[in-house]
Amino acid sequence: MSLVNYSAREITCKIVYYGPGRSGKTTNLQYVHSRVPEGRKGQMVSLATETDRTLFFDYLPLDLGSISGFRTRLQLYTVPGQVYYNATRKLVLRGADGVVFVADSQREQMEENLESLRNLQENLLEEGYDIREMPIVLQYNKRDLPGVVPVEEMEDLLNFRGLPSCTASAVTGEGVFDTLRQISELVLKSLSRKFQQPISPPPHRTSGP
Amino acid sequence: MSPLELDPRFTFDTFVVGAANRLATAAARRVADAPGETYNPLFIYSASGLGKTHLVTAIGHHARRVTPELHVVYDTLEQFMGDIMAAIEAGERDAFRSRVGDVGLLILDDVQFLAGQHRTQEELIRVWDAITARGGQVVLTSDRPPHEIDALDERLLSRFSGGLIVDIGAPDYETRVAIVRRKAEERGHSLEPGVAEALARIAFGNVRELMGGLNRVLAVQELEGRGVTADEVPAILGQAGAGREDDEFESFLKEISSTVSELVEATAVERRLADAILRWEGEGYRTRRLETALQSGVGQDEVEGVIRGFEADVERLREIAGEISALEPDAPELVRRDVLRDPDRLAEAEALLGEVRERTRPLPPPPEGFTFERLSLSPDLFAVRAAMAAAEQPGVRYNPLYVYGPEREGRSALLAALGEMLQRSAPEGTVAYVQGAEFAAELIQALERNRVDGWRARYRRARALILDDVDALAGTERAQDELFHLFEALHRTGAQLAFGASRPPQELEGLEERLRTRLESGLVVELPAATGEDAGLHVEAAAASAGAEGAGAEGATMSAGDGVGAGEAAEARGQGDEAGATAAGARAEDSEAGAVVPAGPDPWFLNREKVLWDWPYIEERLVEDWE
């Protein structure tokens, strides 16, 4: 998959929502889906278990229309959060242009947040990505719940790399588009930087999910 | 038909170009510069209020200025189709169509209203074909791309998609600032610092709403006689800019748009290549080379070289197609768009041109100056009578005619006279007169240049073929093979065939049986050896003698019964030697007396086979002889 296809005048970005199980990744996509007018979005594909947990991945294609003569599309994916689906997570991560790490703001989920973040780093490394170059946004979700961990504490705990972060309540939609805007801009700006130099095919750009 | 007037305010000069409309503007300018030649149709779509009408009106103005005689019609689809329907109802459909046929540039606004109107679509197809058949340009605007127009006839969809479809996006922040400043200036107003920026920051839905906001600011300035400051702008606009923030997706889209614009703008090399690809694709050329450069990544310093090289090859392809078309307007090669529109296959295109050149090269004509009247051979000779009969009814009576006899007894002259007679009734350049050796040599040359197909096709358009000195083909393989197939092809078309040789077919050695039997299949006739002055011919000066300049030609006289002279003339012609070519017809003085030409000096020296024309180190040899 080519990110910027000048022949076809297309820009396609793949953004993966990563995070522990039940942190609200699918809810993020569902909210986006609910707010995008018909004709701008494809069908949201969601493969879930009987208990509504994501089994394989969610996929939401968004058509932003023509911008500066380029048909611009976003492909939003989620990974299954459960630990035992790591192979699927790696597969979904392949070809990603940016990652939103959705952290659960509840105190009892902090350990899972950390574990998932570590898992993200491992998988990115395994897939040949340079973590320092990969656009990542941290989303502290479920801010609407009582007794959530203060943002500063979550920053100390999870954002040791100083990544852009934002708070959200995916159920109400608060912060969802702000997160999407931040990651989209990071991805596009990273593309812009890449194209300052002669283009060379990015590593591991295969047509994964 | 009463089309709308072009709004004089909407020109290219007053159109503010930004990242969101740069492509559409470039395409519009190209169309306006040369209507009907590049993107036809040009289909521009965008949401309302983003400048479609301005841009297509600018096309109309510019095209009129560049081509004053161009008939430009600008209309909305509804109005235009209303006129058509009114004409149909008044029984003036044909008159309307003939008026429309003169249109050189048709601009139709808002074609999305075609949705579901089948009869209107049907009429539009007819109008469209009438205009484009004469090279007219069509420009369309819509609020959506063609495939999103409901219930659009497939034929219209394919016509809409046949040129260039381009959209205009919402302007980015910088463009919005530029638009506000430009419009304020056009109206003779000045804005306080930061006002244009404050206006541009407000999330208007389109440029028209942005202009509405500017109008309010300017109205306050005029009515209150003071300059509006940037801080006041949101309050003055009241609800104008509010409320829209609720639409999260639209807001998200606007913010992302400027980031995408920056990305696209920043990648100048890719942009340059992409524009070149778009341009040449639009003109129907394969752009694989540019696409490869785009994919593989070329540096800033290389990109111009790549594009220049590509464009030079396109130019050469155009020259090739032009030359082929000039040589043979119906050449089958002209439909080879896969080659003639692919700069990566330039070598193949050159080969196609070579084939056409070879095929359309004039056939070797009979030597000038030989006619039956001037032959000194007795008209009662059977061979002469047979040749005259063949000339009178080409391809009917004696076909093929095979004349054999000694080399110098007038055989070649007789065949030349036959050729001259055939040429009178046949279209120009369709009578071929060739020596056996020349035929074989031409084939070898065509093989060397890989142009056998062209060489073959060239001979196959002959209405008559006269091949003298068949003896020279003895022992050849490919030449006999080609002659056999040429014989068959020409015989089938009823072309007259005539052959000359020293002996009858059955006595010729080294000749394929299938060819021999065909040479015998018509009339085989002997031209007996000359007896005294009867056997031979005299030649009057032909027009060609005016060109006789070579030393060999001067004083050369076609001897009685001379066949070699004609042969040499043909051969010399083949070699491009003017002196030799005119030798046969260069004896004016003798013939004016009307007498049979007496045997003059034997022009043996004209024979290129026997004379060494190019002496190496001639000076040394002369000195050596002198000593």
Q: Report CB contact under 8 Å: B267, A173.
A: no
Contact criterion met (CB below 8 Å) for B534 and B577? no
**pLDDT beyond 50 at B561:** no
Nearest chain B residue (CA) to A196: B267
What is the Cα–Cα distance from A11 to A1, expressed in whole angstroms? 10
pLDDT, tens digit, 9 for 90 and up, residues B59-94: 999 999 888 888 898 988 888 888 888 888 888 877
Residue range A187-198: mean pLDDT, rounded: 64
Helix (H, G, I), strand (E, B), or coil: what is residue B349?
helix
Asked if the Cβ–Cβ distance from A6 to B274 is below 8 Å, we say yes
With cut-offs at 50, 70 and 90, classify the pLDDT of residue B582. Answer: very low
Please list the residues that pair with A10 across neighbouring strands: A5, A71
Q: Which of residues 289-328 of B touch A (CB under 8 A)?
A: 291, 294-299
Q: Does A64 contact B251 at a Cβ distance shorter than 8 Å?
A: no
Cβ pair B252:A9 closer than 8 A: no
pLDDT digits over B346-398, tens only? 999 998 898 888 888 888 999 888 888 888 788 888 888 899 989 988 988 88
| Token pair listed for B342 | 């692919």
Give A8's pLDDT tier (boundaries 50, 70, 90).
low
Beta bridge partners of A67: A70
Cα A13 from Cα A40, distance rounded (Å):
15
- How many distinct helices (H) and strands (E) make up chain B? 26, 10
Q: Do B166 and A11 touch (CB under 8 A)?
A: no
Q: Do B260 and A188 touch (CB under 8 A)?
A: yes
Interface test with B, best of A67, A97, A192, A199 (most B CBs within 10 A): A67
Residue bearing tokens 């074609």 = B111
A7: Cβ contacts below 8 Å, ≥ 6 apart: B274, B277, B287, B291, B294
- Write the pLDDT tens digit of every residue in A13-43: 999 999 998 999 999 998 998 888 877 777 7
Tell me, what's the pLDDT at B464?
93
Q: What is the pLDDT of residues B149-181, one digit of tens each?
A: 888 888 888 888 778 888 887 787 778 888 888
Hey, which residues does A72 pair with through a beta bridge? A11, A65
Q: Which residues face B627 on adjacent strands?
A: none
- Tell me whether residues B273 and A70 touch, CB distance under 8 A: no
Q: Do B263 and A11 touch (CB under 8 A)?
A: yes
Interface of B with A in 224-283 (CB under 8 A): 248-249, 251-253, 255-257, 259-267, 269-271, 273-274, 277-278
A198–B253 C-beta distance less than 8 A:
no
Report how far Cα B306 is from the mean position of its chain's Cα atoms. Answer: 25
Q: Look at residue B587 and give its three-state secondary structure.
A: coil
* pLDDT (tens digit per residue) in B181-232: 888 888 888 888 888 888 887 767 678 888 888 888 888 888 888 888 888 8
Interface list for A 24-43 with B (CB within 8 A) = 35-37, 39-40
Angle between helices B268-282 and B288-296 (to 10 degrees): 160
Distance in angstroms (rounded) separating the CA atoms of residues B438 and B434:
6
Q: Which residues of A touch B148 (CB under 8 A)?
A: 39
Three-state SS at B233: helix
Mean pLDDT of all residues in A54-79: 81
pLDDT band at B623 (very low <50, low <70, confident <90, very high): low
- If you average pLDDT over residues B240-267, what whole number do you get? 68
* Measured distance CA(B203)–CA(B182) in Å, rounded: 19
Angle between helices B300-327 and B346-360 (to 10 degrees): 20
Cβ–Cβ of A68/B20 closer than 8 Å?
yes
B540: three-class secondary structure by DSSP: coil
- Residue window 183-202, chain A: list those with CB within 8 Å of chain B: 184-185, 188-189, 191-192, 195-196, 198-201
Pairing of strands A98-104, A10-18: parallel
Among A40, A181, A195, select the one facing B270 at the smallest CB separation. A195
Secondary structure of residue B76 in the 3-state scheme? strand
Number of Cβ within 10 Å of residue B420's Cβ equals 22
Q: Which amino acid is at B216?
A: R
Does the pLDDT at position B564 exceed 50?
no
Looking at residue B116, what is its pLDDT?
Answer: 76
| Whole-number percent of chain B with pLDDT over 70 | 81
B376-380: which pairs have CB atoms within 8 A and are 24 or more residues apart? B376/B410, B376/B533, B376/B534, B376/B535, B376/B536, B376/B537, B376/B538, B376/B560, B376/B596, B376/B597, B377/B410, B377/B413, B377/B414, B377/B527, B377/B534, B377/B535, B377/B536, B377/B537, B378/B534
Q: Position of tokens 């993020």? A: A28
What would the pLDDT profile of A101-155 be if each residue is shown by its tens digit?
999 999 999 999 999 999 999 999 998 888 888 999 999 999 999 989 999 999 9
Give the single-character DSSP code of B14. Answer: T
Q: Looking at beta carbons, which residues of chain A come within 8 Å of B44?
A: none
Cross-strand bridge partners of residue B76: B109
Three-state SS annotation for chain A: CCCEECCCCEEEEEEEEECCCCCCHHHHHHHHHHHCCCCCECCCEEEECCCCCEEEEEEEEEEEEEECCEEEEEEEEECCCCHHHHHHHHHHHCCCCEEEEEEECEHHHHHHHHHHHHHHHHHHHHCCCCCCCCCEEEEEECCCCCCECCHHHHHHHHCCCCCCEEECECCCCECHHHHHHHHHHHHHHHHHHHCCCCCCCCCCCCCCC
Report the alpha-carbon distance of residue B548 to residue B554 in Å, rounded.
7
Whole-model pTM: value is 0.40
Residue B150, chain A, CB below 8 Å: the answer is: no
SS3 state at B498: strand
